[in-house]
Amino acid sequence: MGFRDDFLWGGAVAANQIEGAWDTDGKGMSVADVAMYKANVDVKDYQNQVKITTENIQKAIADKTVADYPKRRGIDFYHHYKEDIALFAEMGFKAFRLSIAWTRLFPNGDEAKPNQAGIDFYKDVIATLKQYQIEPIITLSHYEMPLNLSLKLNGWVSRDVIDYFVKFSRVCFESFSDVKYWLTFNEIDSVTRHPFTSAGIIPDQSKHLEQDEYQALHHQFVASSMVTKLCHELIPDSQVGCMLTKLTDYPNTCAPEDVLASFNKNTMNYFCADVQVKGVYPPLILNFFERNHIQITMTNEDLAIIKANPVDFISFSYYMSLVSASDETNLELTSGNTVVGGKNPYLETTEWGWSVDPVGLRISLLELYDRYQKPLMIVENGMGAQDTLNADGTINDQYRIDYFQAHLSEMKKAVEMGVDLMGYTSWGPIDLVSAGTSQMSKRYGFIYVDEDDAGNGTLKRYRKDSFYWYQKVISENGANL
Shortest Cβ distance from residue 53 to ligand BGP (Å)? 21
Q: Which of 187, 213, 410, 451 is catalytic?
A: 187
Rounded to 5 degrees, what angle do the CA atoms 322, 407, 192 make? 35
Question: Contact residues for ligand BGP (CB under 6 A)?
Answer: 14, 186-187, 317, 337-338, 380, 384, 427, 434-437, 442
Shortest Cβ distance from residue 18 to ligand BGP (Å)? 10
Cα–Cα distance measured from residue 473 to residue 409, given in angstroms and rounded to the nearest whole number: 11
What is the secondary structure of 262-320 as a DSSP string? HHHHHHHHHHHHIIIIISS--HHHHHHHHHTT------HHHHHHHHH---SEEEEE---
Q: Which is nearer to ligand BGP, 384 or 423 (CB)?
A: 384
187 is catalytic: yes
| Sign of the dihedral through C-alpha 315, 319, 325, 327 | negative
Which run of H or E residues covers position 245? Answer: strand 239-245
Going by C-beta distance under 8 Å and a sequence separation of 6 or more, which residues neighbour residue 447? 84, 87, 429, 430, 431, 461, 462, 463, 464, 467
364 SS3 class: helix
Pairing of strands 447-449, 461-463: antiparallel
Q: For residue 403, what are the CA distances in angstroms to 247, 304, 306? A: 18, 43, 38
The residues pairing with 323 across neighbouring beta strands, listed in sequence order, are: 250, 342
Q: How far is CA 138 from the centre of its chain?
A: 11
Residues 133 and 189: beta-carbon distance below 8 Å: no
Q: Which is nearer to ligand BGP, 98 or 306 (CB)?
A: 98
Q: Which is nearer to ligand BGP, 313 or 316 (CB)?
A: 316
Going by C-beta distance under 8 Å and a sequence separation of 6 or more, which residues neighbour residue 69? 22, 33, 34, 35, 36, 37, 60, 63, 438
Shortest Cβ distance from residue 23 to ligand BGP (Å)? 21
Shortest Cβ distance from residue 293 to ligand BGP (Å)? 29
Q: Which is nearer to ligand BGP, 421 or 433 (CB)?
A: 433
Shortest Cβ distance from residue 380 to ligand BGP (Å)? 6
Cα–Cα distance measured from residue 327 to residue 260, given in angstroms and rounded to the nearest whole number: 11
Q: Which is nearer to ligand BGP, 115 or 425 (CB)?
A: 425
Pairing of strands 239-245, 313-317: parallel
Q: Which residue is nearest to ligand BGP (CB)?
A: 436
19 is catalytic: no
The total number of residues shown for the chain amounts to 481
Q: Which of 213, 380, 410, 451 is catalytic?
A: 380
Cα–Cα distance measured from residue 17 to residue 312, given in angstroms and rounded to the nearest whole number: 27
Which amino acid is residue 241, in one-letter code? Answer: G
Residues 141 and 198: beta-carbon distance below 8 Å: no
Residue 137 exposure: Cα atoms within 13 Å on the Cβ side: 32
Other Cβ atoms less than 10 A from the Cβ of 393: the count is 11
Shortest Cβ distance from residue 101 to ligand BGP (Å)? 13
Shortest Cβ distance from residue 74 to ligand BGP (Å)? 12
Q: Which residues are catalytic?
A: 187, 380
